[in-house]
Amino acid sequence: MKCSLRKKIKAAAATSLLCAAALAPQAQAAGDAMSGIHAGDVLMRLRAISIIPNVSTSQTLTALSVGVNNAIVPELDLTYMIRDELGVELILGTPRHQVTSSLGGLGGVNLLPPTLLLQYHFNHAGRIRPYLGAGLNYTLFYNNGLSAGGQPIAISNHSFGPALQAGIDVQVTKTLFVNADIKKIWMHTDASLGGQSLGRLSIDPVIVGLGVGMKF
């Protein structure tokens, strides 16, 4: 009887060990999924951003010392991880900037600058994940309220330019992380008054953001 019981215990122990061995890779995969990011993940971030223009001008705009004020607005971005280390990010936000000159305020104009970036994520499987990005920006200028001497100032409606990015995600739960991000975007518009060119206004902002994100 004792011999039979020992055999049953040994058989049960062996079965348990085999089950544990079979389940170990799955448990490890589940543990990996709780931290880090992997191919197929979708990351959504909501940031508060400070847009700091680095203005340059030409022609009459230079003579008038035309400048562009800072703006603080929310920004939404979506990242799809095409590989463990590589992601494609689309950034959306729409600030309104006030344009000034040495003769007084020229008014405000809205910008819609969707930006597409290819990102490389360092330490993708960890909780602290720096990343670098580079891509293309398209800026739509709309709701133009610029004027001078009671006459409207016309501006070109859109521009294309490069964009660079550096940031870091710090995971705090399985799906929630905090984010800090800085971008440099090149954008410009050409201005005219009464059909006469006033020159080019290059805004080229540095954008500093802080926010939270979710992993799906």
User: On the CB side of 213, how many CA atoms lie within 13 Å of its CA?
Assistant: 27
**How many distinct structural domains can be found in the chain?**
2
Q: Over the stretch 61-92, which tens digit does the pLDDT of each residue have?
A: 999 899 999 999 999 999 999 999 999 999 99
Q: Please give the pLDDT value at position 31.
A: 44
CA dist 140 and 115 (Å) reads 11
Residues 23 and 127 in one domain: no
Same domain, 30 and 130: no
Query: How far is the CA of 198 from the CAs of 54, 147, 177, in angstroms?
Result: 19, 12, 46
Question: At residue 10, does pLDDT exceed 50?
Answer: no
Does one domain contain both 102 and 7?
Answer: no
Q: Does the pLDDT at position 154 exceed 90?
A: yes
Convert the pLDDT of each residue in 174-195 to its tens digit: 999 999 999 999 999 999 998 8
Residues 67 and 139 in one domain: yes
Q: What's the pTM value of the predicted model, to 2 decimals?
A: 0.80
pLDDT band at 213 (very low <50, low <70, confident <90, very high): very high
Q: How confident is the model at residue 34 (pLDDT cuts 50, 70, 90)?
A: low
Considering the chain, what percentage of its residues have pLDDT values greater than 70?
Answer: 84
Identify whether residues 55 and 161 lie together within a single domain: yes
> Is residue 22 located within the same domain as residue 61?
no
Same structural domain, 28 and 50: no
109 plus 28 within the same structural domain:
no
Statement to judge: residues 201 and 104 lie in one domain: yes
Q: How many whole angstroms separate alpha carbon 131 and alpha carbon 86?
A: 9
pLDDT band at 18 (very low <50, low <70, confident <90, very high): very low
Q: Is the pLDDT of residue 3 over 90?
A: no
Domain with 171, as residue range(s), is 39-215
Residues 101, 19, single domain; the answer is no
What does the pLDDT average to over 118-131?
A: 96
Q: Closest Cα to residue 110, out of 125, 94, 122? A: 94
